[in-house]
Amino acid sequence: MVSFDAGVAGTSAATWRADPRLDDRPPLDLLGVDELLVVAAHPDDETLGAGGLIALCSGRGIRVTIVVVTDGAASGAEGIATARSAELAAAAVILGADVVELGFADGATREHRAEITAALLKHISRASRSALVVAPWRGDGHRDHRVVGEIAAELAAGRRFAEYPVWLWHWGHPESVDMPWHRMVSVTVDATKQRALDHYSSQTTGEHPVLRADFLENFTGDREFFVTGSSS
C-alpha cells in the first residue's frame, strides 16, 4: 500500500486535467440500475468520491442509500463525531440519499473487519439484484478505504460494483504505474455535488484543514471517476 501525507501538496488538479486520458474515459453504465448503495469509510468520502453519481441517480428516481462505516473521529477533536454526523446528514439531503451510520471507530477497520463484514452484509444482501454497489477504491492508499473496499467487493460479488478513488488524486500521478486507466469510467457531475461538499466544514476549514483547498480542486470538475472490473 502506498503512503502519503495529506498535509502537504500533492499532484495538482491542473496536472490531472491536462491529461487527455481523463477526457477519454467512457461513461459508467447505469442501464437497468434500480438502486444505488454507496459504501463509505468516513463521512465525506461518499460526497468526494461519488456525490455526482448519487445526485444523478437520485434525480432519476433511483433509490440511493449511503452506508458509512466509521464515525470519522480519528482526530480526537471534541465533538467531531457528532459534527461529522450532522454534516453527513445535511449533505445527504442535498444529494437525495438515505443514510446509515455503522459507527465503527475511525482508523480501526482492520481490527473490526469481522464485525464490519457482518454489518455491511445486512445492507448489501438486501439490495436488489439490479443494484449498483460502489465503495472506496481498494488501491486508494488509505487503510480504512482499502479494508472497507475489500469487504464491499467481496460482499457485492454477483452484483454490479464500482470503486471510487479519493486519495489517488493526491498521491497519484497520470504516469504512475498504479493508475488503473484501463478500468476507469466517468460520471457527469453538476453543482449538486459541490453544494453537498460545502456542508463538510469540519474537514475543509480552519488553520490546518484535513482536506486542503488544493486537494479539493480535484473534486470541482464536471466529472468524477470510478474503477470497474477486476483488480488483477
Total count of domains within the chain: 1
The predicted pLDDT at position 225 comes to 99
> Could you read off the pLDDT of 170-186 as tens digits, one per residue?
999 999 998 999 999 99
* 73: CATH: 3.40.50.10320
Residue 92 covered by a domain: yes
Phi and psi angles of residue 102, each rounded to the nearest 5 degrees, phi first? -85, -25
Model confidence band, residue 115 (pLDDT cutoffs 50, 70, 90): very high
Question: Crossing angle, helix 45-59 and helix 80-95, to 10 degrees?
Answer: 20
Residue 5 covered by a domain: no
Residue 23 covered by a domain: no
The predicted pLDDT at position 172 comes to 96
Is the per-residue pLDDT at 231 higher than 60?
A: no
Phi and psi angles of residue 138, each rounded to the nearest 5 degrees, phi first? -65, -20
Is the per-residue pLDDT at 156 higher than 50?
A: yes
Handedness of CA 93, 95, 101, 105 (dihedral sign): negative
Residue 19 covered by a domain: no
Residue 18 covered by a domain: no
Is the per-residue pLDDT at 230 higher than 90?
A: no
> Could you read off the pLDDT of 45-58 as tens digits, one per residue?
999 999 999 999 99
Residue 122 covered by a domain: yes
With contact defined as beta carbons under 8 Å apart, do 87 and 93 qualify? Answer: no
Residue 11 covered by a domain: no
Q: Which domain holds residue 40?
A: 32-227
Residue 9 covered by a domain: no
